[in-house]
Amino acid sequence: MRPAEPPKCAAHYLWAVLIARIYEVFPLVCPICGGPMRILAFIIRSAGIGHILDHIGVESEPPHITPARWPPL
C-alpha cells in the first residue's frame, strides 16, 4: 500500500473538511480500515445521478414538501 499523496492545494479538499465539520466523519478516510481513500471519478450530469440512484435502489425523487399550516386559533 503506497502512502497517501499530500494535496496540491488546500482548496482542493475544502469540501471534505466542510463535510467533516457537519457530519463528524472525514469522507476521505475508509470507515472500515481507517486508510486513506481517493476520488476515482465524479458525476457532472444530473441525469446520470438519477439512473445510478434508481439502480442501487435509493429514492431518486425528493420528498414531497407539504405547505405550511396556519397557526392554531
For the stretch 20-62, pLDDT in tens is: 888 888 888 888 898 988 888 888 877 788 888 888 898 888 8
pLDDT one-digit tens code per residue, 9-22: 666 667 778 888 88
| Phi, psi angles (nearest 5°) of residue 41 | -160, 165
Residue 64 pLDDT > 80: yes
Residue 7 pLDDT > 60: no
The stretch 64-73 carries a mean pLDDT of 83
Contact 35, 1 (CB under 8 A): yes
Tell me the CB-side half-sphere exposure of residue 49, using CA atoms within 13 A.
9
**What letter represents residue 49's amino acid?**
I
Report the distance separating Cα 25 and Cα 28, nearest Å.
9
